Amino acid sequence: MTAAASPKVQIDTDEVRVTEWTLPPHSAIGFHRHALDYIVVPLTNSDMTIVGPDGARTMAKLKIGQSYFRKSGVEHDVLNETDTEIVFIEVEMKRRA
């Protein structure tokens, strides 16, 4: 991977953080652990590579507007190994009402 993914925080309150992630072709977010429950809302159709802490690789097929939810504790790197840009919104839930 030569390029770096870029986050753009759109909303950051006590309750929620909304970040738009842009992954240029052949880029990565970097290994991280999610401390909060989160929702991903794809803005592009794409294949995204997920690498777990043990190095296991899985493919996530993103479809525009088809959201998914994950609990906190997920550890992974997210890679764009394609020749097209990947864009998604990540909504992290900081506290429950």
36 SS3 class: coil
Residue 50 phi/psi, 5° resolution? -110, 130
The DSSP call for residue 12 is E
Q: How far is the C-alpha of 70 from the C-alpha of 38, rounded, in Å?
A: 5
| pLDDT surpassing 60 at residue 1 | no
The tens digit of pLDDT for each residue in 49-61 reads 999 999 999 999 9
Confidence band (pLDDT; 50, 70, 90) for 2?
Answer: low
Give this prediction's pTM: 0.91
Strands of the 37-42 sheet, one edge to the other: 6-12, 16-23, 86-93, 37-42, 68-70
